[in-house]
């Protein structure tokens, strides 16, 4: 693996991603906002592409009232998934290094989400790539900052989806 000379540890195949993703920020909310946009905008494009290619494919369904939807999808889901993301990601990082770990993590989460709705994994891999990078980047600051930053990005990502669902309903 050839590392990026500017950012040691970042493999060359991830060098096209924004540099800030691989650096902690003295103001974590700024990092979260930037990383969330780096996750959100391409995932919107991926979602549109999947809808264009597979217009008849099922979409994820989130039944329930607004309050339970917000609680489960914006808070509980991201909290549980962030905790579930941590151990395999740390293990993959230890065994394979950070580049393969974040790619592997994103692919695992894509497969898991595709088991629920087949095309969901085609969209979900991107935000999980960003969240995995954020987790490993902030892991240098400690486990709690890593969990907090990854959770915040995930909650914002899901919050945007819930907002769209509520506006459409």
Q: Could you tell me the residue range of the domain that residue 140 belongs to?
A: 29-168
CA distance 144 to 136: 12
Average pLDDT over residues 1-27: 77
Does the residue 21 lie in any domain? no
Is 7 a residue whose pLDDT tops 70? no
How many structural domains comprise the chain?
Answer: 1
Kindly state the tokens that stand for 2: 């050839």
> What local confidence, expressed as pLDDT, does residue 147 receive?
98
User: Across all residues in the chain, what is the average pLDDT?
Assistant: 90
Confidence category of residue 8, pLDDT binned at 50, 70, 90:
low
- Beta-bridged to residue 11, according to DSSP, are 3
Task: Give percent of the chain above pLDDT 70.
Answer: 91
pLDDT tens for each residue of 34-76: 999 999 999 999 999 998 988 777 666 766 788 888 999 999 9
Is 4 a residue whose pLDDT tops 60? no
Does the residue 104 lie in any domain? yes
Q: Which of 123, 121, 128, 117 is nearest to 60 (CA)?
A: 117
Is 13 a residue whose pLDDT tops 70? yes
Q: Which of 106, 110, 90 is nearest to 98 (CA)?
A: 90
């Amino acid at each position: 693996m050839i590392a990026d000379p500017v950012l040691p540890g970042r493999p060359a195949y991830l060098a096209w991603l924004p540099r800030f993703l691989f650096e902690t920020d003295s103001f974590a909310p700024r990092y979260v906002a930037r990383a969330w946009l780096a996750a959100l905008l391409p995932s919107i494009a991926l979602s549109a592409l999947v809808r264009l290619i597979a217009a008849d494919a099922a979409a994820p369904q989130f039944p329930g009232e607004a309050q339970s939807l917000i609680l489960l999808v914006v808070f509980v889901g991201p909290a549980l998934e962030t905790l579930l993301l941590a151990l395999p990601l740390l293990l993959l990082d230890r065994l394979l290094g950070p580049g393969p770990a974040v790619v592997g993590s994103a692919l695992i989460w894509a497969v898991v989400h595709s088991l629920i709705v087949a095309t969901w994994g085609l969209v979900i891999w991107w935000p999980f790539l960003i969240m995995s990078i954020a987790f490993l980047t902030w892991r240098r600051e400690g486990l709690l900052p890593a969990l907090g930053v990854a959770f915040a990005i995930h909650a914002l990502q899901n919050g945007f989806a819930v907002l769209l669902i509520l506006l459409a309903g």
